[in-house]
Structure 1
Amino acid sequence: MERKEFLKRGFSALGLAAIIPVISCSNDTVDPTETATETGSTSGSTSGSTSGSCTITASETEGPFPTKSPSSLVSNDITSDRQGTKLTVKITIQNKNNSCEGLEGALVDIWHCDAAGNYSEYGGSGMQSTNYTSVHFLRGRQTTDANGLVTFTSIYPGWYSGRAVHIHVHVYNASGKSLLVTQIAFPEEISKVVFAQGVYASHGQADTTNARDNVFGDGVSTEMSTVTGSASAGYELTHAIVVSA
Structure 2
Amino acid sequence: MERIEFLKRGFGSLLGIAAITPMVGACSSSTVDPVTSTTTGTGTSTGTSNGSSSSDCKVSPSETEGPFPTKVPANFVRSDIRSDRTGVAFTINITIKNSNNSCAALSGALVDIWHCDKDGYYSEYGGTGMQSVNYTSVDFLRGRQTSDANGLVKFTSIFPGWYSGRAPHIHVHVYNSSGKSLLVTQIAFPYDISNTVYTTAQAYGYTKGAQDTKNERDNVFSDSYATEIATVTGSISAGYILAFNVVVSA
With the length of structure 1 as denominator, give the TM-score of the two structures. Answer: 0.83
Match of 1:205 among 207, 210, 221: 210
Deviation digits for residues 96-129 of structure 1, max 9, x if unmatched?
0011000000000000000000000000000000
Please list, as runs of the form range in 1=range in 2, the aligned pairs for 1:133-172 lying within 5 A after superposition: 133-172=136-175
Instruction: Give, in whole Å, the separation in 2 of the partners of 1:137 and 1:154.
Output: 10
Q: Among all aligned residue pairs of Structure 1 and Structure 2, give the percentage whose two residues are the same amino acid.
A: 66
Which residue matches 1:22?
Answer: none
Hey, which bits of structure 1, 4+ residues long, moved more than 6 A? none
Structure 1, unmatched stretches of 5+, are 14-38
Which residue matches 1:4?
Answer: 4
Which residue matches 2:222?
Answer: 217
Q: Rate the CA distance shift 1:40–1:69 in 2: closer, same or farther, 3 A.
A: farther
Which residue matches 1:57?
Answer: 60
Please list, as runs of the form range in 1=range in 2, the aligned pairs for 1:21-32 lying within 5 A after superposition: none
Instruction: Give, in whole Å, the separation in 1 of the partners of 2:180 and 2:227.
Output: 22
Instruction: Give, in whole Å, the separation in 2 of the partners of 1:118 and 1:127.
Output: 10
Task: Say which SS state the counterpart of residue 5 (structure 1) adopts.
Answer: helix
* Residue 186 of structure 1 pairs with residue 189 of structure 2: yes
* Residue 234 of structure 1 pairs with residue 242 of structure 2: no
1:11 to partner: Cα distance: 5.2
1:53 to partner: Cα distance: 4.1
1:63 to partner: Cα distance: 1.8
Which residue matches 2:41?
Answer: none
Q: Is the 8 A contact 1:40 1:61 kept in 2?
A: no
Instruction: Give, in whole Å, the separation in 1 of the partners of 2:68 and 2:204.
Output: 23
* Residue 79 of structure 1 pairs with residue 82 of structure 2: yes
- The range that moved more, 176-185 or 209-218, is 209-218
Instruction: Give, in whole Å, the separation in 2 of the partners of 1:232 and 1:40.
Output: 42
Instruction: Give, in whole Å, the separation in 1 of the partners of 2:5 and 2:120.
Output: 16
Instruction: Give, in whole Å, the separation in 1 of the partners of 2:66 and 2:206.
Output: 27
1:199 to partner: Cα distance: 3.7
Deviation digits for residues 11-62 of structure 1, max 9, x if unmatched?
576xxxxxxxxxxxxxxxxxxxxxxxxx989x59xxx9xx864111001001
Deviation digits for residues 125-151 of structure 1, max 9, x if unmatched?
000000000100000000000110000
Letter in 2 for 1:157: P
Instruction: Give, in whole Å, the separation in 2 of the partners of 1:72 and 1:57.
Output: 26
Letter in 2 for 1:164: A
Instruction: Give, in whole Å, the separation in 1 of the partners of 2:174 and 2:219.
Output: 22
Letter in 1 for 2:79: N
Q: Is the 8 A contact 2:125 2:136 kept in 1?
A: yes
With the length of structure 2 as denominator, give the TM-score of the two structures. Answer: 0.82
Structure 2, unmatched stretches of 5+, are 21-49
Give the helix-richer structure, 1 or 2. 2
Letter in 1 for 2:147: T
